[in-house]
Amino acid sequence: MATLEVAREDVYRRFADAIKQGDAKAVAALHAQDAELSFPHIPQGVKGRDAVQKFNEGFLKALQDIDIRTLNIATKGDIIAAEFVLTGKHSGALELPTGTLPPTNQHVTLPAAVFFSVNRERLIAEGRSYFDMVNFLKQLGVKP
């Protein structure tokens, strides 16, 4: 594997490790100052490193004991694609477009994929996350 591909994969692995450790600051540090992220449940996206940190602070307070099992990872040029399964326990308030969901103490299993565009500094410039929001909400006991 080419050195550049290994370096790109390392960006994803550091991202996954920071999420597993519950470290929103470390997650944000992997993003460019002007990073833009998109998620199925956030139509306006998340824009900027500070917003990335704030988003992850809320997410990581809502889900505890997170584990990420990476199934596939591929890189080409400045793009990283990763398929993974995230598991965790909903033990904190979760902000949703419809309002705040109090802790349900339910365990969730969330198959997902991310696509990152990485800049020359090896920071995430753009990210797109895909997962089944309806399945996620059902696991939390919420009727979509």
Show me where the domains of the chain are located: 3-139
How many Å apart are CA 122 and CA 3, to the nearest integer? Answer: 13
Average pLDDT per consecutive 10 residues, the chain (144 residues; last block may be shorter)? 68 97 98 96 93 96 97 95 98 90 96 97 97 94 80
* 139-to-88, 94, 134 alpha-carbon distances in Å: 11, 13, 9
Collapsed DSSP state (helix, strand, coil) of residue 82? strand
Decide if domain 3-139 falls under CATH 3.10.450.50. yes
Exposure string (b/e) for 39-50, b if CB count within 10 Å is 16 or more? Answer: beeeeeebebbe
Collapsed DSSP state (helix, strand, coil) of residue 129? strand
How many helices (H) does the chain have, and how many strands (E)?
4, 8
* Rounded CA Rg of the chain: 15
Cβ contacts of residue 122 below 8 Å, gap of 6+? 7, 8, 10, 11
Q: What is the pLDDT of residue 3?
A: 56
Tell me the whole-structure pTM to 2 decimals.
0.91
